[in-house]
Amino acid sequence: MNKEIILEDLGSRDYKEVWDYQEKLFKKILDLKIRNRREELELRTPNYLLFVEHPHVYTLGKSGDMSNLLISEDQLKAKEATFYKINRGGDITYHGPGQIVGYPILDLENFFTDIHKYLRLLEETIILTLQDYNIKSERSPGETGVWLDVGTPFARKICAMGVRASRWVTMHGFAFNVNSNLGYFDNIVPCGIKEKAVTSLNVELGQAKVDENEVKQKILTHFSNLFMAEIIKSDV
């Protein structure tokens, strides 16, 4: 079992470029697992965690509803935003500047074989990170992600999640609103959930801008502790 996770901070990158890169790493791990099984080998499978910030983009999961995109193709262009249908679970979401996106590409057989547990640990990573900023957040029953003031008229989502897994290898991940322009969420029904608001860390703290590198370090601390993993930083 390999509990090392290679961290790559990709900076600001186009969504499709990073999706293709995820697929490449995902396939690399799958191919190695298939070879291990076929040839009765025990070669170690790698694990990755990608940090990235995307230009304005909307993505729709495989079970999503197109009607949750509320603007036309021309309006997308006017807002300098792109749109993709993708192979993760979940409905529609937004990525853009000021949002920390994390893509864990893990062989869960190195950790545990439980997708439910995996999602709960991703949520717990963000919940503990927000706790570091004295913000109480929680899960919302039946709604993946991290929320504030659940069960009240003021319920709002601060982190969306959507994953894909095959043979216990994961891809896609979480999108944590840190300094996001929340106006872009007005163009969709976020995650297909009507009449629920979204928020970001800087809004909750009443700050113009939060240090995103500091937030990433807190995420890494909690992520590595929860997965009992060692983070190995890679120069991309």
The residues, ordered by sequence, that sit 6+ positions from 46 with a Cβ below 8 Å of its Cβ are: 2, 4, 6, 25, 28, 29, 32, 107
Can 159 be counted among the known catalytic residues? no
* d(C-alpha 70, C-alpha 101), whole Å: 23
* d(C-alpha 121, C-alpha 175), whole Å: 15
The CB density around residue 82, as the number of other CB atoms within 10 Å, is 17
* d(C-alpha 230, C-alpha 226), whole Å: 11
Q: With contact defined as beta carbons under 8 Å apart, do 93 and 175 qualify?
A: yes
Catalytic residue among 29, 191, 198, 219: 191
Residues assigned a catalytic role:
191
